[in-house]
Chains A and B, each alone.
Chain A
Amino acid sequence: MPRRKRLRKVVAPPGFKGFRPYGNRHGKRDHVELLYEEYEAIKLADYDLMKHQEASKLMGVSRPTFARIYESARRKMASALVEIREIRSVFGNAALDKSWFICNACHARFTMPSTLKHFNCPLCKSEFINPINSEQ
């Protein structure tokens, strides 16, 4: 059994469900699935112009792994453009970062379901909690 894929941290999911080509003469073709982490990699490297090293830290993966995600993202975009295919965003192996918090007192990590009213650590009741994203 291959090693399980670590979840890649994604700060915000893409704001679209997909992109579709128009004006093409050929009929409908298969779509390309762009994973959330691939979208995030493109965003960090080419939109926020980050170095791969920093970007990989932000996503919680190693630099080579980041490079592989980025590579696969670029190839998918290129194949969508050249082969006139639709791009769809798919969840993939992402962990959406906003939902996790860390307690500064006992270092427990936890989620905050929307049904909860008080914002403190579920373990030690400390109020010194931060979203995991700002930890780095």
Chain B
Amino acid sequence: MKTIISSSGKGLESPFDLRFGRASWFCLLDEETGKTRFFQNEYKNEFQGAGGKVVEKVVELGVTKVISGDFGPKAKELLDRFNIQMVIIPDDSQTIADIIAKLK
């Protein structure tokens, strides 16, 4: 089970990002091994359709769950179609480490 969490920085202590398509970083978490990997969102400053492009990337990585603050209409539709679970956390006061701790 792989999970993606939108993050505003590179590192476990960086705060969680409420945006999905335009988050600065993503944290890829492998739930079996507990390993994390951070990668930058190359579509952050895309003129339009950032969400959709991120979804494509998410599908390529074989992720089954994405955690963010909200999803745009296009991203929502695509994620639904690929049977990827969306999780919305409404407050941004948590860090990536807090969320990972909750997941265990």
Contact = CB atoms under 8 A, between A and B. Distances in A.
Nearest to A96: B80
Contact of B85 (A95, A106, A111): A111
**Which of the four size classes fits the interface of chain A?**
10 to 19
Nearest to B65: A122
B102 A110 contact: no
A11 to B, nearest CB: 17
B85 A122 contact: yes
A108 interface: yes
B84 interface: yes
B73 A112 contact: no
Interface in A101-117: 106-116
**Which of the four size classes fits the interface of chain B?**
10 to 19
B85 A123 contact: no
B4 to A, nearest CB: 12
Contacts of A123: 67, 87, 89, 99, 102-103
Interface of A: 7, 93, 95, 99, 106-116, 122-124
Given A109-B88, A114-B83, A123-B99, 10 more contacts: A7-B73, A99-B80, A107-B90, A108-B90, A111-B85, A112-B85, A113-B83, A122-B65, A123-B87, A123-B89
